[in-house]
C-alpha cells in the first residue's frame, strides 16, 4: 500500500508488528523489536511518550505497573529511575533484566535493520503537544527523516495537529476507538492531513472500508491475532493489520 504525504512516499505491508513482536517478547522492548527484525517483518508499531526528565521512552501505558516491576506514572519518573526497572520478567523469566527503551534506541536499531516504524504518539495527560514536538525534534536531530520509513499516528487530536505543524512531510494516521460517522472521519482527515484511518477490529465494517477506500483513505486495523479474522479483513479491503503474532497470520 503506497501512501503519499507531500514529499514522502511510504509503502506499508499487509502485516505490521504490534509493539514490536509482542506475542513472542515483552511488548515495546528491544527483544520485541529484535525478534521482529529477525523474522523479517518490514514494519513495526510502537508507543512513544515523555518521562519526567524529558526523554522519549517506548511504553504503552501511562503507569509502568503492568509491564515492569515498578509502580507509578511514567510522567512522574525520570529516565534514571525508569531504566532500572525490569520490563521483561512479567512476560517470561527468560526476559528478566530487559528494560524500557528510549525511542532513539529503537529507531537506531530499526534504521540499521531497515525496518519501518509506526510511531504512535501516546502522550501523558497534558503532554499532547510537547510529545509531538519532542518526536519531531528527535527525528530532525538524528536525521531520520528519509533514512527510515516512518509513520506517525495518534488518538490525540492535539498531538496530530502538532505533528502536522512540526512534521508536515511525514505520513500521519488517525486513530479512533469509538463508533463514529463517515462524515466525522472525513472531517478529521481533512483537518489533520492524515492519510490513513486506524481502527479497532471490533468496530470496522465492510461498508466503512469500501467507503474509505473509494475516497483513497486506507484502513489499518488493530489488533488482529486470529488467522481467519485476518483473512476476512484483508478480503474486505483492509490495507494493513497490526498483530502480536503476524507470523501466524
- According to the 3-state scheme, what is the secondary structure of the chain? CEEEECCEEEECCCEEECCCCCCCCCCCCHHHHHHHHHCCCCEEEEEEEECCCCCEEECCCCECCCCCCCCCEHHHCCHHHHCCCCCCCCCCHHHCCCCCCEHHHHHHHHHHHCCEEEEEECCCCCCHHHHHHHHHHHHHHCCCECCECEEEEECCHHHHHHHHHHCCCCCEEEEECCCCCHHHHHHHHHHHCCCEEEEECCCCCHHHHHHHHHCCCCEEEECCCCHHHHHHHHHHCCCEEEECCHHHC
Euclidean distance between CA atoms 122 and 140, whole angstroms? 19
Nearest to 16 by CA among 195, 247, 196, 199: 247
Euclidean distance between CA atoms 137 and 142, whole angstroms? 8
**39 has catalytic annotation:** no
**Of the residues 18, 19, 102, 133, which is catalytic?**
18
**Of the residues 14, 60, 73, 188, which is catalytic?**
60
Nearest to 20 by CA among 62, 58, 67, 64: 58
| Residues labelled as active-site residues | 18, 60
Amino acid at each position: 500500500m503506497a501512501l503519499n504525504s507531500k514529499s514522502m512516499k511510504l509503502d506499508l505491508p499487509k502485516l505490521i508488528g504490534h509493539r514490536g513482536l509482542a506475542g513472542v517478547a515483552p511488548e515495546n522492548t528491544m527483544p520485541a523489536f529484535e525478534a521482529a527484525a529477525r523474522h523479517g517483518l518490514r514494519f513495526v508499531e510502537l508507543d512513544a511518550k515523555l518521562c519526567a526528565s524529558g526523554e522519549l521512552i517506548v511504553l504503552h501505558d501511562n503507569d509502568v505497573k503492568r509491564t515492569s516491576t515498578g509502580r507509578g506514572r511514567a510522567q512522574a519518573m525520570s529516565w534514571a529511575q525508569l531504566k532500572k526497572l525490569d520490563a521483561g520478567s512479567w512476560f517470561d523469566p527468560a526476559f528478566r533484566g530487559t528494560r524500557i527503551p528510549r525511542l532513539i534506541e529503537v529507531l537506531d536499531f530499526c534504521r540499521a535493520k531497515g525496518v519501518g516504524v509506526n510511531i504512535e504518539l501516546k502522550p501523558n495527560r497534558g503532554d499532547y503537544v510537547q510529545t509531538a514536538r519532542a518526536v519531531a525534534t528527535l527525528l530532525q536531530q538524528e536525521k531520520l527523516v528519509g533514512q527510515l520509513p516512518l509513520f506517525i499516528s495518534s488518538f490525540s487530536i492535539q498531538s496530530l495537529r502538532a505533528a502536522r505543524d512540526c512534521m508536515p512531510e511525514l505520513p500521519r494516521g488517525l486513530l479512533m476507538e469509538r463508533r463514529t460517522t463517515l462524515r466525522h472521519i472525513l472531517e478529521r482527515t481533512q483537518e489533520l492531513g492524515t492519510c490513513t484511518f486506524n481502527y479497532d477490529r471490533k468496530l470496522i465494517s465492510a461498508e466503512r472500508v469500501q467507503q474509505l477506500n473509494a475516497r483513497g483513505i486506507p484502513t489499518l486495523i488493530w489488533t488482529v491475532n486470529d488467522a481467519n479474522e485476518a483473512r476476512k479483513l484483508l478480503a474486505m479491503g483492509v490495507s494493513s493489520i497490526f498483530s502480536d503474532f503476524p507470523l501466524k497470520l
